[in-house]
Copies of this chain bind each other. A is one copy, B any other.
Amino acid sequence: MLTNLFEHIRKFVPLSEEEEQILAQYIEIRDVKKKDHLLKAGQVCQGNYFIIKGCCRAYFDSERDGEQIYHFAIENWWITDYISLEAHTPSESNIQALENTTYAVLYRDVQDGLFAAVPQLERYFRIILQKALTAAQLRVKYIFTQTGEERYHHFAGSFPDFVQRVPLYMIASYLGFTPEFISKIRAKKKA
């Protein structure tokens, strides 16, 4: 069940079979159905979620324009609300399954114990976080230097899987514009 996670970790740091065993004791595996929530606004986020099978989105409800999606995750991606996780404050965002999903949870309150037992996991997360930060900076770059149309084509080119699996109006939300606008872009392309 945790094979995905073990392999993902091995891309960055060594991990023996004994260490796999230890890790497994610190991790909880869960299932959610499509549309169920891994985290709801108001709850304090308790951990980091690794998607084993399925697809999720993280979003907040903004009074102005309904839901604003800020992150997607599919197989082998981590997803969480760092704001809530770090500050121990109630989350302002929701994490929801877009398909029936199996995921692993690493709870915040056991994380340091795990790092003490398997020190190179501290390194693994350092590397993962650095990659996530790189991606976040790149995202800001694209938001500011590309038009909506360019951003849509760029995203569709970079993540064709998402365009398949996720409704277009959610991609519109993630990219920061309206579903109507995405429709108009596509209409243009056919012509």
Binding site for B on A (CB under 8 A): 60, 62, 64-65, 68, 70-71, 82-83, 86, 115, 119, 122-123, 125-126, 129-134, 136-141, 143-145, 176
| A83-B138 in contact given A123-B122, A176-B144 (Cβ < 8 Å) | yes
- Which residues from chain B contact A139 at a C-beta distance below 8 Å? 140
| A70-B137 in contact given A123-B122, A129-B126, A145-B62 (Cβ < 8 Å) | yes
Interface of A, secondary structure class, is helix
In Å, the complex CA distance between A132 and B132 comes to 10
Count of identical protomers in the assembly: 2
- Which residues from chain B contact A71 at a C-beta distance below 8 Å? 137
What 9 A-B pairs have minimum CB-CB distances, sorted nearest first?
A: A136-B136, A129-B129, A126-B126, A82-B134, A62-B145, A133-B133, A144-B176, A68-B144, A132-B133
Q: Which residue of B lies closest to A175 (CB)?
A: B144
Is the Cβ of B136 less than 8 Å from the Cβ of A140? yes
| A134-B86 in contact given A126-B129, A145-B68 (Cβ < 8 Å) | yes
Q: Which residue of B lies closest to A173 (CB)?
A: B144
